Chains A and B, each alone.
Chain A
Amino acid sequence: MLRKLLRASFVLALLVPGWASAQVATISGTVTDPNGEALPGANVLIEELVIGAATDVDGHYSFEVPGDMVNGQTVTLRARFVGYTPQTRQITLSPGAQTQDFTLAPDLLKLDEVVVTGVTGATPQKKLAFTVSKLDASAIELAPASSPVGSMQGKIAGASVLKNSGQPGSGYSVRLRGSTSITGSSEPLFIVDGVILGADQVDLGALDIESMEVVKGAAASSLYGSRAQNGVINITTKRGSNVPLNQTRVTIRNEFGISDLPKSLQANSAHSFKVDSQGRFLNADGQVNSCDTCLPNGFGPGVLEDKILGGVSFYDKKYSLSGPTYNAFDEFFDPGDTYSNYISISQNSASTNFHVSFTNLKEGGVVVGTDGYNQQSFLLNLDHRISNKLYLSASGRYSQSQSDDVQRSGAINPFFGLMFTSPIVNLARRDENGQLFVKADPLAVEENPLYVVENTDIKQERSRLLGNFRAKYQPTDWVDLEGTFSYDRLDADGTTFMDRGFQTIDPSSINDGQIQRRNSFIEALNADVTASFHRTFGKLTARSQLKYQLESDDEYFESLTGTGLTSLGIKDLSNVKQFPEGARDFSSTKRTIRADGLYATLGFDYEDKYIGDFLIRRDGSSLFGAEERWQTYYRAAFAYRVSEESWWPLKSAVDEFKLRGSVGTAGGRPQFEAQYEVFSLSNGTISKATLGNKFLKPELSTEVELGLEMSFLDRFFLEAVYADSEVKDQLLQVPLAGYFGFSSQWQNAGTLTSNTVELSLNANLFRSRDVSWDMGFTFDRTRQEITRFDANPFRGGPRTAFFFRSGEILGAMYGFHWLSDPSELPEGANPAAWDRNDDGYLVPVGVGNTFRDGFTGNCGLTDENGNPIQGCWGALVDTDGDGEGDSPFGLPVKFETLDENGNPTQFVQIGDVLPDFNLGFNTTFRYKGLTAYMLWNAQIGGDVYNFTKQWSYRDGRSRDQDQSGKPDDLKKPINYYEVLYDATAINDHFIEDGTYLKLREVSLGYTFSRQVLQRYFGNALNQVSISLIGRNLLTISNYSGFDPEVGTTAGSAGVGGDASLYRVDNFGYPLFRSLTGKLEIQF
């Protein structure tokens, strides 16, 4: 009773002002689309007063303005609805009721969608003078990846996005347009809800994303100064303001499915050993081989190569004739489960809105016996209006994750042993105690991968907090003052544990057990104050902004390793024995970065036709040398909307035609230690390392971007961009002469240039009340070259397969080339003595023979009695006409040429990782509640170096080496492949075409509309949708490894850390596919 009374008086109190004045203005009306269909959930509000309402199911809205705010003034009434061009209207606010109906046109081509990254205030796409690509929630939610970064794949022209590793929870390498740095990172600057990330992007969730804006090059990113030469990716999460006014929305989403490898490899099915008629392996005495570690059929140490006359042997005897065979890949890989659970609650009232969500994500991975990755995250976004002039907003995200990893530096990489296992070996065999065998393959020198995975515990725990607080004050309608403060904190703890008794093939100190603990702590703090001015002077609208920004980053890493454990199973470091029974290693690194930035912008827009933008920024950073502490960046951009001219003749066909050009500069910062003179400390000892450089500057990128945008036939939008960039002052670690004691010095010593062509076409092919069909198409092509190099040329990147010098393509791979064309024959060689074999190699065969004559030709071989015998394998044939045998028959020979100094060299360009071009294609078809979507992505051209395959040649494990079933004239001896293996030296036998076509995302879903749901559930449910989602389902490629997207092969972001550039397949965790089902309920 009391409660009722209270409630009544509360309501009464609320109503009192209305009674007291009776001067209220009531505004009502409908919001419909051009077909007259109601648009429920559209927002209508008076901008100046921030008072408004959302439309109901029938498209009606109505709200009152309190009398004390009504004085006959002119105000702006704005109606907006997602996917439609917003409309504003000036009305006179006077007491009484007035009706304002809106008909909103669909913004099919998203020209009215605003962007906020790199610009002065929110700007509609059509008024941009440079490229800012935007992905909104609708482009992400149909098949969300586990990370928002992954959601960019194939959708944005000019963006190369590659997962660093298939290992669940690993991040992505992102490169926007061409490379900007030879040895530095190409990672763009990431901003999440205003927080400039201080640590990597792996902890971000994909389910709360409202939009992602991608600024690709310096011409647009100058606003972000010396961190922006790689571009900027700005991620905005959902806020309560997206919910219709005065409503609360609850979304529950569950997705379940499995992950597996789309492709399994096959090893060489044949061996080269002597066997008896039952397939048993013989030893040198002709007996069935036996030893302690041998398999019952004699396979093991002591087996004998089955050599033919000439001393060569062949992988041509099937293992399957000797006993059961196994596929190690099938034993090692195991489909894993993947799921996500998500709940969010959003509410929007006139003065306060919030969005809160919780996500639980699990990615099981595909390796047997590992748990994969599990993340829980919590998001809270809150906006509050204190008065008409003062707004506050806060964004916060906390996540924690646990991962059970397969690979980690310092631990044995199981993918290694996997590639070196004979098919006759069952990796999963266990001894009487249930233990796997570390040396399952008695001939292997690599550990059983299943043993390694089962007995190595690699865990990583991360917690991440992102927070942003923003206050905005609008003293008058043409000035905004804003202050923001943001914080990013990462705590990452990793443990690698091998218990006492851990076995290795060679005895090792880790047999006594080892604990490694790695802790990192990264804290980034950013604050800025901004004053924005915007005024209209007749036909000219001008905007200006002044900003002061400061950054403070602190990073701390430590690694503690203890070897030799006292107790079994205890992962505490106190379990480590003292020297000499045990050993303890420590190392730590601390980095402090301080930076200040100041910028001023001026933007104008004359008659919506001529758009200009100017920027100047001054950046100071502790990372620059003491003499170069402050740097200046600028941007100038201009756009001309030709279609706005009264004389534009194609108004009906081409309703938007814009030409634009922009030039801007941005920087790339040196690494923390680069400027310092360094005497290195290692376990307490000291020695010279690098010479300091107080003149060290950031890399300076200057980009010119030209663009054309047009929308035509009301259905198509085409954007074409040409970007040309030059990055001077490349940061290179230049070697010094030995006697200086310091091995090198970081210097600004090179220039890298690149150009990129990007095309994107969006089409709304069909749209009616029930059916719509949209398509998107992207194309990009990038060329890049090192145009100046002031250091000595050097090799770098993974496996040092890349060559850095003046005039070189960045991405060119160098190594040995096997002779394949008569024009490449060395001086003095007789072309008639050479033949091109079925692998395309020009091999020595001797005059009168062909490469097929290994068993039949006449090469002067004799038996032990001196009688001539048939066959050429193992013979030296004469290739230079002097009558003397000089080169082994049939074996590939390296090409030799002269270098630019006239010195003989065998080191030549053998490949180029840069694709000829990339393509993306997506299509979405909707029929009533049904949605079908797919995204295809193709890379055409671009080489991959298959080092994984090359190393597996060492032990004859590659399927290439399998000679079983080949006719004799095409068989190649072991030695042939040993020559090509070349002890892991980089050579073009292992260059493979990385061309692929991928079905990156596909989904098929059905959404039950509110109207349908009403019949069964009343108003309880707003929306229910179910869908089937596939990611990376299909890859079409000739690549012989698991996947042409090979991931990163070096640990850091330095040379080789960029998986989008350095494509070397090096025993990584392969990418996998997943298929899931999703159920989403919205209240």
Chain B
Amino acid sequence: MKLSRFSLLALLLAFVWAGCQDLSVENPNNPDRTRALAEPNDVEALVSNLFTEYWNATQGCNGSPMLSTMADQHSCSWANWGMRDMSSEPRIAWDNSSSYSRRASTEGPWFDNYTGISNAIDGLRAVEENEQAFIDAGIDVNRLRAFARFNMGLMHGHLALFFDKAFVVDESVDLEAVALGQVELPTQPYNEVMQRAIGFLDEAIAIAQANSFTIAASDDWIFGLDVDNQRLIRLANSYAARFMAQVARTPEERAAVDWNEVIRRIDAGIVEDFAPIGDDNGDQEWDCLKWAGSEGRTWSRADYRTIGPADESVCDPNDGKINCFQEWLDTPLQDRLVFDVHTSDRRIVGSADDPTVDGKDFQYQGDNGPFPPARGTYHYSSHNPFRYKYYRDNGANGAMPVMLKAEMDLLKAEALLRTGGSTQMVADLINNTRVPRGELNPALATDAVGSPDDPQNHRDGASLWAKLKHEKRIETFLTAAGLAFFDDRGWGDLVDNTPYHFPIPGKELETLALQTYTFGGGGDASADDRGFAWKRAPTGGESRFTMDARPQ
């Protein structure tokens, strides 16, 4: 009987213990807002991640490789990330359905940039609410504000480059009221979004001009780089200059850019390459374009439309064709094959006599490459870009140059050409890389100026415009996401019917209950009428990137 009493007691105790269970459980893995932003240091940590977020939204696989193939910078007929669909010819409209399997290529830039913008706003609001607490915690609020504004500028800027319209969001927008329908948050056209983006960059510049601070490389705000207030000012100016030129959708718009302001910005801009250093195997600090664009055995070749104009070979002397590239262009799309490029540009080919010698930036492959012939042998190329192959070979670690000094030089050269500036200066700026790296004869102040319509041409006697285009395409190859694409649309060099910008992602349109729309393929933001659906090239495939991604 004693035992049974004991067991009764034990049961009762179990009951009491049970009754005391607390059903409020904290999430120990990821913080909520209260914990994430509890301390000024936490807020600073959130802000410190903004450049990473901008980076992922732009240099990640969603958008970046696709834009490169759309600009015929690198070539790839694998379907991953929209490369095949958007770079095959004839060019088609972007499929803006929320069920399109490559939809991440516009959803990434859209949603990832807005996540970053939202985090920046949280950070700025927290400082606004209790600045003293930040100061007490030893936090440099000026550095924090300048960095947040700088990144808000970059992120709005990329949205303005990529999409036809977007939302401008800053601390003044009451999102709760927007969610409740009390306040309307309208979309704004790309040029207005860009104006605001540059405004954010200018705010960052103003803070950095009034206060000195240093973002240490060890803090890793801008991967592996020391950036003080002066350098941040220069970066902001260079980005503003790039944005002002790149936001143009057409040659007319590009011509209308305030090029004097561009020159002013460039002169106040970077004096050395901007090359963040990835050190986490591409986990966050990941440059997909350099990773996917640098592997000739599986993923990438250098598109003949970019390296081919440098070809100096006489391909078939009998039929009077100028060179192999010209013959390639004259061949029907589906019959184009690999040919060897002979050129004096030592970045492309290493020897005047032997086209199979690797150049400084391009590696000779010679074979058909990895792409299935049925997807179009016009995707083939004899070379693959390998200037940044170290990055891939090192497990997605190392320097990721995203804005070269040369890019700024060449942008300035363009501005000078457009503003009737000194042709000597233009030639000098082109020659900065043309001569030492390309080992080409210098461009001359006496060369014809030409016009933005001139096709790229590296040859002596070609116009400054033609040399400039060659130089910029070869020298900035695989640097910033979209660089070649944004230049090409402003120069009028995109293949016909390529959409020159993208619609707000279909998924977002559905969430906001807006009508779906799209661009390219002969519809809006492209040239010709849209044909019958069955005449379109096949589309399809899948989206997200993983390290064990396979060609599709």
Residues of chain A touching chain B, judged by Cβ–Cβ distance below 8 Å, are 284, 291, 301-302, 305, 311, 313, 386-387, 389-390, 410, 412-413, 416, 445-446, 471, 473, 475, 481, 483, 485, 505-509, 512, 527, 529, 548-550, 552, 563-564, 579-580, 583, 585, 588-596, 620-622, 626, 629, 672-673, 676-683, 685-689, 692, 735-743, 792-795, 799-800, 803, 814, 816, 819, 826, 828-829, 844, 879-880, 886-887, 893-894, 896, 903-907, 951, 954-956, 974-975, 977-979, 982-987
Q: A738-B110, A794-B98, A887-B535 are in contact. Are A509 and B367 (CB under 8 A)?
A: no
Q: How many whole Å from A430's CB to the nearest CB in chain B?
A: 22
Q: How many whole Å from A439's CB to the nearest CB in chain B?
A: 9
Q: A828-B532, A983-B540 are in contact. Are A590 and B29 (CB under 8 A)?
A: yes
B535, A737: Cβ atoms closer than 8 Å: no
Residues of B within 8 A of A505 (CB): 297-298
Inter-chain CA distance A762–B31, complex, in Å, is: 56
Q: Mark B168-207, 1 if CB is under 8 A from A, else 0.
A: 0100010100110000010000000000000000000000
Residues of A within 8 A of B280 (CB): 583, 585, 683
Q: A311-B335, A529-B14, A529-B15 are in contact. Are A795 and B538 (CB under 8 A)?
A: no
Inter-chain CA distance A145–B532, complex, in Å, is: 56
Q: Mark B101-123, 1 if CB is under 8 A from A, else 0.
A: 10000000011011111110110
A595, B552: Cβ atoms closer than 8 Å: no
B4, A387: Cβ atoms closer than 8 Å: yes
**Cross-interface CB contact of A687 among B10, B49, B397, cutoff 8 Å:** B49
Q: Is the interface of A mostly helix, strand, loop or mixed?
A: mixed
A685, B49: Cβ atoms closer than 8 Å: yes
**Pairs A–B under 8 Å by Cβ, sample size 28:** A445-B551, A471-B10, A473-B4, A481-B8, A508-B395, A529-B11, A552-B21, A596-B18, A681-B29, A682-B283, A687-B46, A687-B53, A688-B115, A735-B511, A736-B511, A739-B114, A740-B118, A792-B510, A816-B540, A893-B534, A894-B533, A951-B550, A954-B552, A982-B540, A983-B79, A983-B541, A984-B79, A986-B101
Q: How many whole Å from B191's CB to the nearest CB in chain A?
A: 19
Give the residues from 356 to 380 in chain B that come closer than 8 angstroms, CB to CB, to chain A: 367-368, 370, 372-375, 377
Which residue on chain B has the smallest CB distance to residue A690?
B30
Q: A585-B283, A679-B36, A741-B117 are in contact. Are A985 and B29 (CB under 8 A)?
A: no
The number of chain B residues with a CB under 8 A from chain A is 106
Q: A596-B18, A978-B538 are in contact. List 12 more A-B contacts (CB 8 A).
A: A302-B368, A387-B3, A471-B10, A509-B397, A512-B395, A552-B21, A591-B29, A622-B24, A685-B284, A686-B45, A743-B115, A829-B532
Q: How many whole Å from B18's CB to the nearest CB in chain A?
A: 4
Identify which of B4, B367, B396 gathers the most chain A CB atoms within 10 Å of its CB. B4
- Tell me if B476 counts as interface (CB < 8 A to partner A): no
Residues of A within 8 A of B541 (CB): 982-985
Q: How many whole Å from B179's CB to the nearest CB in chain A?
A: 7
- Tell me if B432 counts as interface (CB < 8 A to partner A): no
A621, B372: Cβ atoms closer than 8 Å: no
Residues of B within 8 A of A622 (CB): 23-25
Inter-chain CA distance A826–B11, complex, in Å, is: 74
Residues of B within 8 A of A305 (CB): 373, 377
A795, B79: Cβ atoms closer than 8 Å: no
Q: Mark B36-48, 1 if CB is under 8 A from A, else 0.
A: 1000001001101
Which residue on chain A has the smallest CB distance to residue B97?
A907
B367, A983: Cβ atoms closer than 8 Å: no
Residues of A within 8 A of B185 (CB): 739
Inter-chain CA distance A235–B358, complex, in Å, is: 68
Which residue on chain A has the smallest CB distance to residue B332?
A311
Residues of B within 8 A of A844 (CB): 534
Q: Mark B329-370, 1 if CB is under 8 A from A, else 0.
A: 000101101000000000000000000000000000001101
Which residue on chain B has the smallest CB distance to residue A792?
B510
Residues of B within 8 A of A954 (CB): 372, 551-552
Residues of A within 8 A of B281 (CB): 509, 563, 583, 585
Q: How many whole Å from B186's CB to the nearest CB in chain A?
A: 12
Identify which of A678, A879, A955 gathers the most chain B CB atoms within 10 Å of its CB. A678
Inter-chain CA distance A508–B552, complex, in Å, is: 19
Q: A483-B14, A677-B33 are in contact. Are A683 and B23 (CB under 8 A)?
A: no
A579, B534: Cβ atoms closer than 8 Å: no
- Tell me if B28 counts as interface (CB < 8 A to partner A): yes
Q: A580-B394, A673-B30, A903-B516 are in contact. Are A483 and B11 (CB under 8 A)?
A: yes
B11, A481: Cβ atoms closer than 8 Å: yes
A686, B36: Cβ atoms closer than 8 Å: yes
**Cross-interface CB contact of B49 among A313, A589, A686, A982, cutoff 8 Å:** A686
Q: A683-B283, A686-B36, A739-B185 are in contact. Are A904 and B297 (CB under 8 A)?
A: no
- Tell me if B542 counts as interface (CB < 8 A to partner A): yes
B85, A983: Cβ atoms closer than 8 Å: yes
Q: A982-B539, A983-B84 are in contact. Are A594 and B22 (CB under 8 A)?
A: yes
A739, B552: Cβ atoms closer than 8 Å: no
- Tell me if B52 counts as interface (CB < 8 A to partner A): yes
Q: How many whole Å from A42's CB to the nearest CB in chain B?
A: 31
Q: A412-B548, A954-B372, A974-B373 are in contact. Are A550 and B21 (CB under 8 A)?
A: yes
Inter-chain CA distance A485–B337, complex, in Å, is: 74
A629, B99: Cβ atoms closer than 8 Å: no
Identify which of A590, A829, A893 gathers the most chain B CB atoms within 10 Å of its CB. A893
Inter-chain CA distance A955–B15, complex, in Å, is: 65
Residues of A within 8 A of B30 (CB): 673, 676, 678-681, 689
**Cross-interface CB contact of A386 among B3, B178, B368, B511, cutoff 8 Å:** B3
The 6 closest A-B CB pairs, nearest first, are A985-B540, A741-B118, A509-B395, A983-B79, A738-B114, A978-B374
B52, A563: Cβ atoms closer than 8 Å: no
- Tell me if B140 counts as interface (CB < 8 A to partner A): no
**Cross-interface CB contact of A987 among B283, B377, B540, cutoff 8 Å:** B540
A800, B14: Cβ atoms closer than 8 Å: no
Q: How many whole Å from A272's CB to the nearest CB in chain B?
A: 8
Q: How many whole Å from A1050's CB to the nearest CB in chain B?
A: 13
Q: Mark B381-418, 1 if CB is under 8 A from A, else 0.
A: 00000000000111111100000000000000000000
Identify which of B23, B280, B542, B551 gathers the most chain A CB atoms within 10 Å of its CB. B23
Residues of B within 8 A of A738 (CB): 110-111, 113-115, 167, 508
Q: A389-B4, A580-B394, A743-B111 are in contact. Are A886 and B540 (CB under 8 A)?
A: no
**Cross-interface CB contact of B511 among A590, A596, A737, A803, cutoff 8 Å:** A737
Which residue on chain A has the smallest CB distance to residue B389?
A507
Residues of B within 8 A of A829 (CB): 532, 534
Inter-chain CA distance A413–B22, complex, in Å, is: 44
Inter-chain CA distance A205–B224, complex, in Å, is: 53
Inter-chain CA distance A683–B49, complex, in Å, is: 11
- Tell me if B299 counts as interface (CB < 8 A to partner A): yes
**Cross-interface CB contact of A506 among B299, B398, B507, cutoff 8 Å:** B299
A974, B18: Cβ atoms closer than 8 Å: no
Q: How many whole Å from B522's CB to the nearest CB in chain A?
A: 14
Identify which of A739, A740, A793, A844 gathers the most chain B CB atoms within 10 Å of its CB. A739
- Tell me if B130 counts as interface (CB < 8 A to partner A): no
**Cross-interface CB contact of A737 among B14, B373, B512, cutoff 8 Å:** B512
Residues of A within 8 A of B218 (CB): none
Q: Mark B479-513, 1 if CB is under 8 A from A, else 0.
A: 00000000000000000000000000001101110
Q: How many whole Å from A455's CB to the nearest CB in chain B?
A: 16
B538, A473: Cβ atoms closer than 8 Å: no
**Cross-interface CB contact of A507 among B25, B392, B508, cutoff 8 Å:** B392
A509, B396: Cβ atoms closer than 8 Å: yes
Residues of A within 8 A of B97 (CB): 905, 907
Residues of B within 8 A of A473 (CB): 4, 7-8
Which residue on chain B has the smallest CB distance to residue A439?
B297
Inter-chain CA distance A681–B46, complex, in Å, is: 10
A580, B279: Cβ atoms closer than 8 Å: yes
Inter-chain CA distance A799–B393, complex, in Å, is: 30
**Cross-interface CB contact of B334 among A311, A626, A629, A814, cutoff 8 Å:** A311
B548, A792: Cβ atoms closer than 8 Å: no
